[in-house]
Amino acid sequence: MSLLELEDVHTYYGESHILQGMNLTVEEGEVVALIGRNGVGKTTTLRSILQLTAPRSGSVRFRGEDLTGNPTHEVADRGIGWVPEDRRMFGYLTVEENLRVAIDPDQEVEPLRDEMFDLFPDLARFREKEARNLSGGQQQMLAIARGIVGDNELLLVDEPSEGLAPLIVEQVVEALREVSTETTMVLVEQNFPLAMDLADRFYLIDHGTVVESGPTEGVTADDERIQRYLAA
């Protein structure tokens, strides 16, 4: 049984048919990249998994349990974390408070929080700082920490390198690589070399459906299949 399975998922925004029969699987422990041009349905796939934009048909299964139609907070409670495209920090909350929101009330806060501070030492330094006052890279670290705190089993990461300076991107990539040793990950990333570097497998998406998939090893931007779908 796969950790995550999407089967013939159709998702709409109003009358716009975005996901047109999405099928994909994610095995425990792997990093899967979703690649494709802008607007092909990558972010919508993540939103459909979380039921933030609920599919009209098809199924999303996590550890064999159908998530379709469940409220988002229940889906997240099953152990699915989300690092959204524009980070979406709670800007007026401190770093500590941002993490506290993500920790289940039944869990002990300090050990989980300290674990994140060990992983991201910058966050420990700025723990009392409001998130809006952090740099872009620090905010991205916080978004990742918020996504994995509380032992989430699956992390959905959307465009983690977007808007960051190359040096900061390197730090974010290293952080994600470290997180991926313990957490299964679905990664949406426009930066093709970065996605291939981090992921074990990829799904190439076009018009809301998978057009190519396979291991990332040996796949380059020059690949004819990739060129056909990624070229603007």
**Which is nearer to another protein, 55 or 84 (by Cβ)?**
84
Site for another protein contains 76 (CB under 8 A): yes
Query: HSE of 150 in the Cβ direction (CA atoms, 13 Å)?
Result: 24
Which residues share a beta bridge with 66?
A: 61
Question: In the complex, what is the shortest distance from the CB of residue 166 to another protein, in angstroms, rounded to a whole number?
Answer: 27
Site for another protein contains 146 (CB under 8 A): yes
Strands 80-83 and 154-158: parallel
Of the candidate residues 11, 36, 62, 82, the single one contacting another protein (CB under 8 A)? 82
**Which is nearer to another protein, 92 or 167 (by Cβ)?**
92
Burial label, 105 (beta-carbon count in 10 A; 0-12, 13-18, 19+): exposed
Angle value at C-alpha 112, between 109 and 113, nearest 5 degrees:
80
Of the candidate residues 41, 84, 137, 160, the single one contacting another protein (CB under 8 A)? 84
Site for another protein contains 63 (CB under 8 A): no
Strands 31-35 and 184-188: parallel
Annotate each residue in 103-122 with x if it binds another protein (CB under 8 A) or - if it does not, as one string.
-xx-----------------
**Residue pair 32/187 in contact by the 8 Å Cβ criterion:** yes
Q: How many residues bind another protein (CB under 8 A)?
A: 23
The two structure tokens encoding residue 178: 């470290």
Binding region for another protein (CB under 8 A): 50, 52, 71-73, 76-77, 82, 84, 88, 90-93, 97-98, 100-102, 104-105, 146, 150
